[in-house]
Amino acid sequence: MRPRAGAAGGRDPFPPRGDGQRLPPALPPAGAGRVSDSVAVVTGAGRGIGRAVALRLAADGHAVVAASRTAGDLETLAAVAKDAITPLTADVADGDTARRLLATATARGALTIWVNNAAVVEPRPFAELDPQSWDAVLDTNLRGVYLGCHAAFRAMSERGGGVIVNIASLSGVANVEKFPGLTAYNVSKAGVIALTEAVALEGRATGVRCVCLSPGAVDTEMLRRAAPHLRPTVTPEDVAELVAFLVSPAAAPLSGVNIPIFSNA
């Protein structure tokens, strides 16, 4: 059964088109339907889960700062969302990116949401996993999340609260079946889950929640490259719905949790 967290009245907020693809909800005009001056940062927003999350949060009334390494993807996203989304071409592995994202977000309003979604995968047998490949994956998938968490945590703590959502993976969950060739990816995602718990623990005193989602197979371009044999039933929009719930007041008691998302792939 597909999750429908946050769907009003049981209606599907991402209705399918004639070709079976799903569209985001209609975005409000600039300034209309804003959730006060709430601003959300979403990394890895050019495609897949990040794109769906950025569109969903914008549709829910948040101003969104969307980051991606690919300028063309951001241009397409910004064209869909118009003034609701501010694009920023950036690499989360760069030590200056989190600062730039924070500055862009606070210029638009109050930072209340930060979604660390950017990730890379480089399938490689362990015997062929050289230090450079290891570092490339860990720099984006774990160090990039740490830098985002750190920037968001400090800013949110100063203003009295906020929500950090980290996107990990079932590949990082203990005692779940793993695929060969993904050692660096698996380790990076396990680190994200552990980081979430640590940040949530220290956020209790300042009102900062930190939660984690660990999707299994999701129908994204990255998965199709890494595992073309899989046919996942979970879509990026499904994950976006869960993110929308986790950042809502209804999820206020949740912090430090990791929520696995299983697919029938």
Catalytic residues: 185
Distance between CA atoms of residues 122 and 39, nearest Å: 32
Determine the 3-state secondary structure of 105 from DSSP: helix
- According to DSSP, residue 143 is labeled I
What is the distance of C-alpha 28 from the center of its chain?
A: 22
Location of structure tokens 């949060």: 57
Task: Give every CB contact of residue 193 below 8 A, 6+ residues apart in sequence.
Answer: 166, 168, 172, 173, 212, 214, 258
Q: Hey, what amino acid is at 168?
A: A
